[in-house]
Amino acid sequence: MARDVMFSEQDVLASICKESLYDFVQQFWSTVIPEKPVWNWHIEYICNKLQNIAIRVAQRQPKLKDTIINISPGSTKSSLVCEFFPAWVWTWFPTASFIGSSYRHDLAMDLSRKNRAIVKSQKYQQTFRGVDIAEDQDAKGYFVNNAGGARMSVGIGGDIIGRHGDFIMIDDPLNPKGARSLIEINAANTFIKETLWSRKKDKLVTPTILIMQRLHQYDSTAMLIDTMGAENIDHICLPAEITDDIQPAELREKYVDGLMDPVRLSWPVLKEARKMGDFFYSGQYLQNPVPLEGGMFKTEKFVIIENLPPILHWRQRVRFWDKAGTSGGGDYTVGVLMGMDENGRFYVLDVVRGRWDSAQREAIIKATAMIDGPKVEIGIEQEPGSGGLESAQNSVKNLAGFSCFIEHPTGDKKHRADPMSAQVNVGNMHLLRGTWNREYISEFQHFPHSTYDDQVDSSSGAFNRLNRKRIHVGAW
């Protein structure tokens, strides 16, 4: 005789949440985060990654790889890995032990405290009956549940002798302020390799999960990839804006308007972040840290002038365009106006720079040509492929009546920029003072490691045109 089985609301919720970390995060968000959630796609993606890792550990299967997640600040990264993930695992694998680490002791303790707050919340206790924290082992830095599962926390350089974990979680092991100090970088890397690595309960099973914003070319992400080998790392890299560094590459399709998270990390937010400089922005937001100095251009040798000399005879002037087709994001379209006088001095006179769709871009190129006048030659860089040729030809057609040329660049960007660097480095490149100076100089300062290189490319194109060998054939 069949009997009706009644399930409570808590039973249904428990069943749903045990099956899905993402559902658990949605249901228990408000227990530790007062702000209204923004459910961008990356949250579910990271949750699914963590869930697959946890299942293998629970089944005592050898880990497939260790995991590195590089993502911008303000993207819920710490909460997902260090707060919600351990609390969720305990709902179905209560004997699991976690070691959590962050660059500072108090930050590691705060993440642990929030993890504990989820478990001790009324909603969690009512939903997952039987998962309780032992009263005699209930400190925010080390607490144990009634099944023997534990959560330990330590700052970089701290003491965790005698403790072992089923999961090693490392959240931002490097202080952003310490990213300029190789001593602090090496200290963090050494602690991970020599201390945290030895705290695994089972060396074949226990995974290391490192989630961080990139801060330096020698940071913990680079160290682990170099030490373990890229083939042994599941590397998830999610720059704030679309770049070639996205990993896995198919996640590019998830970006909207060129953005990983168009709500929390919108273009106005990123524009504000870029004001902090290439070193800051490239690492923390593009996950592609650059050296403090690029070294190719000695930018202190740029000569900034308030006005052009009263008597100036131009040998030639060129406006060279490096085009980008993305509206609102991605690379910039840049047009650099450069001139060379009769004495061989070089002048950067103006820079037009922006992100426009193809129609806006062509209108701006033509309007700029009309302002420059017919004595300025216009160069258009041809991108590779038939589409690049067609785009360049369309630009030239749009500029009927002006002197134009199409340049198909050869060699890499550094090679093309090298002739100009020689003139910059001897103080023979003058910049007419303008609002564009700061970002122009910053890009050259960090090249070839700068966040963007469109202004360098455009300048190289103009400079190389000014210095081309003139071979007159017929009516040239």
Pairing of strands 303-305, 429-432: parallel
Q: What is the rounded CA–CA span in Å between residue 102 and residue 169? A: 9
Closest CA to 33 of 80, 71, 69, 103: 80
* pLDDT reading at 191 higher than 80: yes
For the ranges 220-229, 255-264, 289-298, the lowest mean pLDDT is seen at 289-298
**Strand pairing of 133-139 and 167-171?**
unpaired
Between residues 405 and 293, the one the model is more confident about: 405
Beta strands in 174-265 (DSSP E): 208-212, 233-238
Beta bridge partners of 335: 321, 352
Phi-psi domain of 172 (left: phi exceeds 0; alpha: psi -120 through 50; beta: other) = left
pLDDT for residue 178 is more than 80: no
CA distance 163 to 96: 13
Beta carbons of 350 and 364 less than 8 angstroms apart: no
For position 471, what pLDDT does the model report? 35
Q: Using an 8 Å Cβ cutoff, are 205 and 61 in contact? A: yes
| CATH 3.40.50.300, the chain: domain bounds | 9-284
Tens-digit pLDDT profile for residues 203-212: 999 999 999 9
d(CA 352, CA 348): 12
CA dist., res. 436 & res. 455, Å (int)? 11
CATH 3.30.420.280 domain extents, the chain: 299-466
Q: How far apart are CA 381 and CA 410, in angstroms?
A: 11
User: Is pLDDT at 6 greater than 70 in this prediction?
Assistant: no
Q: Contact, 297 vs 445, CB < 8 A?
A: yes
pLDDT of 327? 57
Which residues, in sequence order, are CB contacts of 280 under 8 Å at separation 6+?
176, 273
Greater confidence (277 vs 75) lies with: 75
pLDDT (tens digit, 9 = 90+) per residue, 81-129?
A: 999 999 999 999 999 999 999 998 889 999 999 999 999 999 999 999 8
Residue among 44, 72, 81 nearest 260 (CA): 72
Strand pairing category for 346-354 and 333-341: antiparallel
Q: What is the DSSP letter of 70?
A: E
Give strand pairing partners of 168: 99, 208
**Distances from the Cα of 470 to the Cαs of 87, 319, 347, 408, 462, in angstroms?**
72, 18, 20, 18, 15
Report the topology of domain 9-284.
Rossmann fold (3.40.50)
CATH topology of domain 299-466: Nucleotidyltransferase; domain 5 (3.30.420)
The per-residue pLDDT for 8 is: 79
Which residue matches tokens 């106006």?
A: 337
User: Which of 304, 309, 263, 301 is CA-nearest to residue 74?
Assistant: 263
- Cβ burial of 330 (10 Å; 0-12, 13-18, 19+) is middle
pTM for this prediction? 0.68
Q: How far is CA 175 from CA 70, 72, 357, in A?
A: 15, 14, 39
- End-to-end CA gap in the chain: 100
Q: What's the confidence (pLDDT) of residue 473?
A: 34
